[in-house]
Amino acid sequence: MSAYALETRGLMKRYGGLVVANEVSLALEKGARHALIGPNGAGKTTLAGLISGTIRPNSGSVWLFGEDVTRAGPAQRTKRGLVRSFQITSLFAKLTVLENLFLAVSEQRGESFSIATPAAFRRETLARAEALVTQFGLGPVANRRVSELAYGQQRLIEIALALALNPKVLLLDEPAAGIPSSETGVLLDAIETLPQEIAILLIEHDMALVRRLARDATLLVQGAVIARGTVASLLASDVVRQVYLGKAARTIPAHA
């Protein structure tokens, strides 16, 4: 049995003649902090879809904690601890921030809310939702409807929502994209202080974030794994510099 938290074996995905995932094999240990990097159109988001189950592979398999989940749908994978953030559409726009978190925590605890829910259970759920509000600095907007909030704040809530689901494996696709720089600090602190045992796959273009949040990295180009290793070794390698040349010459500093 595989000891990996998340594993893909030979994943293939084609759209017509375009190969978007080409024999992609990845393995993340429990507690991994793994970055997936590569130029626009490399297939990173598609790979996240193949892992989370929203996209079906042409061949290959996906494994969670030694179990083949290739045929399982996204919801079944989430039940097994795989959480993908974020899809803003998963927020209830008409509910408040706190209500959204309350529902997510409630769902994770296996009880859909009803008036028959014991008061003690509701209090614990509320306490956990309030702790997430505090952790993400959302106190001032806790009772505002999600639809009234700025895009950056909505993304922050999506991360909080992902955490409410108690992930064992967390997929983050460009978590800081669209968030004003004044708000990224809270987000990065929250990601950095996630429980050690969670395995994180971080898709990211910003190499400063990759250095800060990841230990290991995989370079994807045209759907194929071109290089992998520690973040430091990969970012220093010629292949990464060549792939990102032009853009990279500015965004990848020579030293950490």
Ligand X SMILES: Nc1ncnc2c1ncn2[C@@H]1O[C@H](COP(=O)(O)OP(=O)(O)OP(=O)(O)O)[C@@H](O)[C@H]1O
Q: Which residues bind Mg ion (CB under 5 A)?
A: 44-45
Distance CA 208, CA 45 (A): 20
The number of residues that bind ligand X (CB under 6 A) is 11
Q: For ligand X, which stretch binds (CB under 6 A), given 42-50, 66-74, 110-118, 161-169?
A: 42-50
CB of 223 to ligand X, least distance (A): 7
Among 8, 11, 38, 153, binds ligand X (CB under 6 A): 38
Residue 46 interacts with, from Mg ion, ligand X, none (CB under 5-8 Å by kind): ligand X
139 binds ligand X (CB under 6 A): no
What six digits make up the tokens of 227? Answer: 């290089």
CB of 43 to Mg ion, least distance (A): 8
Q: Are 35 and 216 in contact (CB under 8 A)?
A: yes
Among 8, 22, 46, 154, binds ligand X (CB under 6 A): 46
Q: For ligand X, which stretch binds (CB under 6 A), given 36-44, 68-76, 229-237, 244-252?
A: 36-44
Q: Are 22 and 59 in contact (CB under 8 A)?
A: no
Q: C-alpha angle 57/234/186, rounded to 5°?
A: 80
State which residue, 17 or 110, has the beta carbon closest to ligand X. Answer: 17
Among 28, 33, 35, 43, binds ligand X (CB under 6 A): 43
Residue 20 interacts with, from Mg ion, ligand X, none (CB under 5-8 Å by kind): ligand X
CB of 172 to ligand X, least distance (A): 13
Residue 42 interacts with, from Mg ion, ligand X, none (CB under 5-8 Å by kind): ligand X
CB of 207 to Mg ion, least distance (A): 16
Which chain residues interact with ligand X by CB under 6 A? 15, 18, 20, 38, 40-46
